[in-house]
Structure 1
């Protein structure tokens, strides 16, 4: 049976540092500095995420500290200038926050980050209550899996599954996350399938497929 793919729940940070909508500017900065984070979700009630404040939101105050904008530029950057003059999380935050559910796949999380140009996503349940937070660096954790672990999964979930009769003749080697498949198999149509499935294993960097088809009569 093929292993279940990694989800956001497998890599997210479960301990979330958050602030309330009424948190003031200096409190937010101090919180980020204390916990060494670059953004904090803004929550209300029992943890429902209503927005997120990032370093980029806070730096607008410094950007406009001495730089006075003309009327045209003010109109063009209304949101930025409003945040530059704000002091509370409710006014500084980006809202609504782009969030994700814990059962989402890692590719889904990566696409969502890329689409919205964000570096992290609060992880929420059906009611919008924060469950964790996932960052771009979290999505890379799967590439820390050992070569031995990757080889075992490729052998079990790809080779033995696709080639039940000839799997002992297929070699699986992994070096720095790169999988090499070698040996002879009976069905040539399954060779590209094997390469594709091996590449889909979480943590695999690349696949070199050197499989060949057994000649008739051998």
Structure 2
């Protein structure tokens, strides 16, 4: 990672299929099936992202078709009721689209997904043009990073920077993404910071800290003659 935190552009899917607002219902379903996706960004005539159509947006048509009733008497939200008679992407889509920029951190993208309860985010530039799409599975790719790579970054970016010339006293071991810090250091006040910084390294699953102070060496003079210094001659 070269010391640079990963961003959405590092993991997103760059080749993306999108819909125009006039795309027909059956074409939307066909495209989802062909590309094996559950949601598609919708673009306006200029190519900017204006919404997203998901399987959830399409299901009301099937859910309310069973009894053949009109809008009156249907159960569900008013938004679902309106979608029953919708036939184009522009009418079916959820708008405005929840999007993210390519340079946003993976942590922020994950927070946006969790907050808005979405499985994927269209990635757009500053003018709103589609650059890619990032999904939950894309964000999880970072945890496939190798243990040796993680260990090297923890040592370089955390241990060396915090403990400087005493960094050699700290050992870094990584097993399946779990970082273990061991050794004896004098500046134990830095331990919480070391744990927090190590946990922020991309690919780290957890951090276990076994850092402690070096043993106190007794003063040999203080143990002479029952702990008293010899009287001057």
TM-score category by the smaller chain? over 0.9
Q: Report the TM-score, using the length of structure 1 for normalisation.
A: 0.93
Tell me, yes or no, if structure 1 residue 201 matches structure 2 residue 201: yes
User: What is the rounded CA distance, in whole Å, between the counterparts of 1:6 and 1:156 in structure 2?
Assistant: 17
- CA shift, 1:214, in A, is 2.3
**Do the aligned residues in 2 keep the contact of 1:100 with 1:123 (CA within 8 Å)?**
yes
- Match of 2:19, SS state, is coil
Tell me, yes or no, if structure 1 residue 81 matches structure 2 residue 81: yes
> Which residue is equivalent to 2:130?
130
> Which residue is equivalent to 2:222?
none
- CA shift, 1:187, in A, is 0.6
- CA shift, 1:65, in A, is 1.4
- CA shift, 1:189, in A, is 0.7
User: What is the rounded CA distance, in whole Å, between the counterparts of 1:136 and 1:203 in structure 2?
Assistant: 15
- Assess, with a 3 A threshold, how the Cα gap between structure 1 residues 62 and 212 changes in structure 2: closer, same or farther: same
> Which residue is equivalent to 2:177?
177
Cα deviation 1:115-145 (Å, max 9, x = unaligned): 2111111111111111111111111111110
How many residue pairs end up in the alignment? 216
**Do the aligned residues in 2 keep the contact of 1:21 with 1:43 (CA within 8 Å)?**
yes
Q: Which runs of no fewer than 5 residues in structure 2 stay unpaired?
A: 219-233
- CA shift, 1:167, in A, is 1.2
Match runs of 1:24-35 below 5 Å: 24-35=24-35
> Which residue is equivalent to 1:50?
50
- CA shift, 1:73, in A, is 5.0
- Alpha carbon RMSD of aligned pairs, Å? 1.8
User: What is the rounded CA distance, in whole Å, between the counterparts of 1:17 and 1:64 in structure 2?
Assistant: 29
- Assess, with a 3 A threshold, how the Cα gap between structure 1 residues 120 and 202 changes in structure 2: closer, same or farther: same
Q: Which has the larger radius of gyration?
A: 2
Cα deviation 1:78-106 (Å, max 9, x = unaligned): 11011122111010100111111111111
